[in-house]
């Protein structure tokens, strides 16, 4: 992928890296060294590669690990998969047939946010509603509150861009 670097004398400390169509766009301070800038770009490329590798088998492995670590390994499911039909919700679960569906939008979010959604849907296998017992299961995941805040912010941004 091509990299376009734009240096600015007004930019003092931050580096902004974003994906634009078929290239990586980098906005950087004018005085940053090429070595430091290349290290940032390499980390960005690495994160992008990791996101591409998230598939249904990845979800299965994550769900097994999270089930063992936070839910005592007691939950079983028939399938967990990404579903392109998930346009509004981040995840859904049908306990009666043991299926969990995850929005592919989560691939572009931090792994800890996707892990929260997986734990949330796994908890529905035990407790189908959002009552106190359900939340006590979900809150075993230590980043639950932080992930909920992240997703709320994402929803707010999405709604604001839809209005424009």
Q: What is the pLDDT of residues 75-119, one digit of tens each?
A: 999 999 999 898 889 999 999 999 999 999 898 888 999 999 999
Which of 46 and 42 is assigned the larger pLDDT? Answer: 42
- Within 8 A by CB and 6+ apart from 115, the residues are 62, 66, 141, 143, 147
Say what the pTM is. Answer: 0.70
> Which residues are CB-neighbours of 13 under 8 A, at least 6 positions away?
29
- DSSP conformation letters of 46-105: HHHHHHHT--HHHHHHHHHHHHHHHHTT----SEEEE-TT-SS-SEEEETTTTEEEE-GG
Mean pLDDT score across all residues of the chain: 90
pLDDT at 50 over 70: no
Q: Where residue 18 falls among pLDDT bands split at 50, 70, 90?
A: confident
In eight-state DSSP terms, residue 6 is E
Q: Any idea which architecture 56-163 has in CATH?
A: 2-Layer Sandwich (3.30)
Query: DSSP label at 31?
Result: T
Q: What is the dihedral of CA 154, 87, 58, 53, to 10 degrees?
A: -80
Task: Answer for the pair 138, 119: CB distance below 8 angstroms, yes or no.
Answer: yes
- CATH 3.30.2010.10 domain range(s) in the chain: 56-163
């Amino acid at each position: 992928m091509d990299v376009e670097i734009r240096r600015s004398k007004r930019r003092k400390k931050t580096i902004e890296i974003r994906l634009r169509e078929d290239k990586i766009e980098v906005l950087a301070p004018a005085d940053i060294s090429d070595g430091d800038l290349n290290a940032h770009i390499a980390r960005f490329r690495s994160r992008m590669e990791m996101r591409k590798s998230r598939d249904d088998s990845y979800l299965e492995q994550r769900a097994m690990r999270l089930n063992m670590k936070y839910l005592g390994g007691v939950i079983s499911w028939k399938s967990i998969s990404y579903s392109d039909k998930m346009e509004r919700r981040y995840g859904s679960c049908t306990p009666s047939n043991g299926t969990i569906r995850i929005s592919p939008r989560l691939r572009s979010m931090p792994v800890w946010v996707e892990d929260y959604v997986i734990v949330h849907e796994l908890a529905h296998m035990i407790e189908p509603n959002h009552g106190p017992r359900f939340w006590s299961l979900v809150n075993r995941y230590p980043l639950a509150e932080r992930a909920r805040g992240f997703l709320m912010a994402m929803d707010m941004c999405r709604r604001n861009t839809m209005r424009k």
